Structure 1
Amino acid sequence: MKQNKDIIIIGAGPIGITCALECEKRQWDYKVLEKGALTNSLFNYPRNMTFFSTSEKLEIDAIPFISNQPKPTRNEALEYYRRVVTSNALNISLYENVKKIDKKENHFHIKTNKIEYTSKYVIIATGFYDIPNLLNIPGELLPKVTHYYKEAHNYALQDVVVVGASNSAVDAALEIWRKGGKVTMVIRGKQIGERVKYWVRPDIINRIKEGSITAFFDSEISEIHADSVVIKTNTKKITLSNDYVIALTGYLPDFDLLQHCGIKLSKDNKRIPEYTPETMESNINGLYLAGVICGGQETHKWFIENSRIHAKKIAQAIANRL
């Protein structure tokens, strides 16, 4: 089967949804393809997560986002974006994974796990949360190891190692400790991350100081075993009894998809894709980038509140060609 569309949008996160809204306003023939659930990255956030941003900064297309507190929760965000999609009857196909994008003459050919599409334009807004930044150490594939954290209950009364010092790692460590887990943090740097939410950072620092949570700074896990972990510090190796490892060491954009499309990446370790800031068009004519994927490895550079504008830039660029 084949479908012809004017525009294919890859990714149904907040920015992909914003791009769809711009297409909907102009009555363009578009379709959004999402390999997981609606707003899949947000869905995979911890269940009790609170955003750093206030609700108005998470709004898209000036549609009000009303939350109980100034900083909304994950569940409130899921409800908001879901209602935006359903109320505007956006054309989104979920659980449809893009396998390949080729450009032949003036059209793109997009092959998914379901069918094939042709389109004049493609917008990639895939975010970065689906591909974990692996530790690449022995034992990382054991069932006790996860790169995502949902909730604390199943870690009660367990020896848990949390790897990392970002917002997600700190939230996990505090929640698990408060549910009765024995928590050890393994942190490469010398301190808790500076970008950790300002109302949470003092909490974790104090829990470490008082000894409620153990932290190894300037350290990393070198091995994971069924009932233990090996931690490498500057001076020695330490073996600890362990039930679970939660490795929250960050996530990566889908660089393979970008490179298979022919998009150029910077040659430094940032791997920033090539695009024109005024239009968000990549080095491939008719292929646009939106959202956090524009930052390459610098996944902290773009987020919802400062990349919403990408959708309008792309829509205007496409309108100028029609």
Structure 2
Amino acid sequence: MLDILIIGGGPIGLACGLAAQKAGLSFVILEKGCLVNSLYNYPATMTFFSTSDRLEIGGVPFISINKQPNRNEALEYYRRVALDNKLPIKLFEEVTGVERNGDNFVITSCKQTYHSRKVILSTGFYDIAVNLDIPGEDLPKVKHYYKDPHFYAMQNVVVVGSSNSAIDVALETYRKGAKVTLVVRGDEVSNRVKYWVRPDIINRIKEGSIKAYFNSNLAAVRETEVDINTPDGRITIPNDFVMAMTGYKPNFEFLAKLGIHLTKDKFVPEYNPETMETNLPGMYLAGVVCGGLDTHLWFIENSRIHAEMIIEDITAKFQNHQS
């Protein structure tokens, strides 16, 4: 019988493991992909908004040669944290079910069954893309994930969105020789875009290097063209690839299946903000999964405190039970 089973091997899942280890609790971390799977799937050229000290977990220093670390530095950091601390992590092991057995839990994965007194869900939100729900979205040319700009050289690329991921894609593919069209639902580039990147995209739009349609939406995708609804009416332009950087969402079906209550508007899971315990006693939430559809609410830097909050509450409950 484990004290804690942690679902999700991202930075916050690792932080929970480090806190549990420090408290002398037995635990296992289950991750359905590779270590810090979401970070691994980030674009190869991705740079964090946060400085390295804000990405540290468990008090382990994160040294970067840049002011803002990049994806590869983060992968190196979190891998070394996991290895150096000998965290018990089982990778490529997806959890398929969690059931209560008295005061404890029975957790079933694709490989085996575990018994644990407490469960921490730190499953993030990067694995499920928000769909456009338009004709042609299922074509292979439509991508919700992006790795490297070279692939799109000399192609007609439509980028949908105005947040960091969309703007990075637009600028990087443009600089590799793509003809880029940006489709933005609002009337301007998002204010959440990294402060050193936003002037770049605004200037490229002003000079005409990147064509932008504001207050617009992609209406349909076909093999060689797309339709865009603009304030001046629907237009059709040539197209080779669509980069739908429309965001991602937590696995709400999995949360609901477990019995966690979700709000009807933004699917925010129910939890105690002081302990991170959900409406299911003994089951906790950590990290960006706490925000529901508002995935801009929680980041590594402001949710890493969840680990200490959770382990403190679990430790207190164990002590009270013993007494």
Give the structure-1-normalised TM-score.
0.97
Q: For the residues of structure 2 that align with 1:44 and 1:304, how far apart are their CA atoms?
A: 16
The residue that corresponds to 1:299 in the other structure is: 295
Aligned ranges for residues 1-322 of structure 1 at < 5 Å? 4-267=1-264, 269-322=265-318
| TM-superposition CA deviations, 1:8-51 (whole Å, max 9, x none) | 10111110000000111123221111111111111111111111
Q: CA shift at 1:104, angstroms?
A: 2.6
- The runs of at least 4 consecutive aligned structure 1 residues that moved more than 6 Å come to none
Q: CA shift at 1:235, angstroms?
A: 3.3
Q: Which amino acid aligns with 2:268?
A: I
Q: For the residues of structure 1 that align with 2:117 and 2:226, how far apart are their CA atoms?
A: 52
Q: For the residues of structure 1 that align with 2:266 and 2:253, how far apart are their CA atoms?
A: 15
Q: Which moved more, 1:204-213 or 1:21-30?
A: 21-30
Q: Which amino acid aligns with 1:227?
A: T
Q: CA shift at 1:197, angstroms?
A: 0.4
Q: For the residues of structure 2 that align with 1:7 and 1:61, how far apart are their CA atoms?
A: 17
Q: Which amino acid aligns with 2:108?
A: K
User: Is there any run of 5+ residues in structure 1 with no aligned partner, and where?
Assistant: none
Q: For the residues of structure 1 that align with 2:19 and 2:46, how far apart are their CA atoms?
A: 29
Q: Secondary structure at the match of 1:119?
A: strand
Q: Which amino acid aligns with 1:18?
A: A
Q: For the residues of structure 2 that align with 1:241 and 1:176, how far apart are their CA atoms?
A: 16
| TM-superposition CA deviations, 1:129-148 (whole Å, max 9, x none) | 11100111111111111101
Q: CA shift at 1:271, angstroms?
A: 1.6
Q: For the residues of structure 2 that align with 1:72 and 1:293, how far apart are their CA atoms?
A: 23
Q: Which amino acid aligns with 2:276?
A: M
Q: Which moved more, 1:216-225 or 1:230-239?
A: 230-239
User: Is there any run of 5+ residues in structure 2 with no aligned partner, and where?
Assistant: 319-323
Q: Secondary structure at the match of 2:242?
A: strand
| TM-superposition CA deviations, 1:255-301 (whole Å, max 9, x none) | 1111111111122x222111111111000000000011111111111
Q: Which amino acid aligns with 2:39?
A: L
Q: How many residue pairs were aligned?
A: 318
Q: CA shift at 1:114, angstroms?
A: 1.1
- What is the aligned-residue RMSD (CA, Å)? 0.9
Q: Which amino acid aligns with 1:252?
A: K
| TM-superposition CA deviations, 1:173-229 (whole Å, max 9, x none) | 000000001000111000000100010000000000100001111111111111111
Q: For the residues of structure 2 that align with 1:111 and 1:224, how far apart are their CA atoms?
A: 40
Q: For the residues of structure 1 that align with 2:22 and 2:51, how far apart are their CA atoms?
A: 26
Q: CA shift at 1:6, angstroms?
A: 2.0
Q: Which amino acid aligns with 1:29?
A: S
Q: Secondary structure at the match of 1:118?
A: strand
Q: Secondary structure at the match of 1:274?
A: coil
Q: Which amino acid aligns with 2:158?
A: V
Report percent identity of matched pairs.
57
Q: CA shift at 1:234, angstroms?
A: 2.7
Q: CA shift at 1:119, angstroms?
A: 1.1
Q: Which amino acid aligns with 1:99?
A: T
The residue that corresponds to 2:321 in the other structure is: none
Q: Secondary structure at the match of 2:174?
A: helix
Q: CA shift at 1:102, angstroms?
A: 1.5
